[in-house]
Structure formats: C-alpha cells, structure tokens
C-alpha cells in the first residue's frame, strides 16, 4: 500500500492501534537485525578469549539503539513522500 492509500484507507484510531501493537510486538528490519545480532553475539562469545567482555546483539547492530530516535507518524509519512518524489512518484 502506498502512503497516499494509507492516508485515505486507515483511520487515526487504527494507526494508533497498530502503533501500540508494534510497541508490544515489533516487526520489520530492526527486529530481524536484532535476531541476527543475537546469533552473531552467541557465536562470537563461544570463541572469545577468557576474561574478555561478552558481546551483545548491540555490538552487531548497524545503528546504535541509544542513538536511534523514533519518528512521529507525521515525520514518517513526510519522509516516505520525499523518498517517493525522489524516485519519480507523486
């Protein structure tokens, strides 16, 4: 679904429900990267030298979660529109 379709077809209350659901059960690339980071940390910790600090999934994330900032819905929609315009879509 495009951003334009989303704005027309989804009510604000439904979007709020999805946001609550996502907060409880995240999905998408960030969650996938957390899973990959957990596997990488497990494998790295199996082979780490005695006395060294154990690694966590955060050590394998492309973006430091402490630096990440959640966008508001309006910011996210604006960003999606700007990306679409760059790719020749209105």
The answer to pTM > 0.75 is no
Q: What is the pLDDT of residues 5-30, one digit of tens each?
A: 888 888 888 988 988 888 888 778 87
pLDDT tens digits for range 37-85: 999 999 999 999 999 999 999 888 876 555 666 666 777 777 667 766 6
Domain-wise residue ranges, the chain: 27-86
Largest CA distance in the chain: 58
DSSP string, the chain: --HHHHHHHS-HHHHHHHHHHHHHS--SHHHHHHHHHHHHHHHHHHTSPTTSPPP-GGGG-SS-TTT--PPPHHHHHHHHHHHHHHTT--
Q: Is the pLDDT of residue 89 over 60?
A: no
Token code pair at residue 12: 């604000």
pLDDT at residue 83, rounded to an integer: 65
């Amino acid at each position: 679904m495009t951003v334009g379709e989303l704005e027309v077809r989804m009510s604000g209350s439904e979007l709020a429900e999805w946001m609550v659901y996502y907060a409880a059960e995240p999905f998408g690339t960030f969650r996938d990267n957390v899973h990959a980071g957990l596997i990488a940390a497990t494998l790295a910790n199996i082979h780490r030298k005695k006395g060294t600090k154990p690694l966590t999934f955060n050590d394998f994330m492309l973006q430091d979660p402490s630096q990440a900032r959640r966008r508001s819905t309006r910011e996210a929609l604006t960003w999606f529109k700007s990306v679409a315009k760059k790719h020749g879509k209105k």
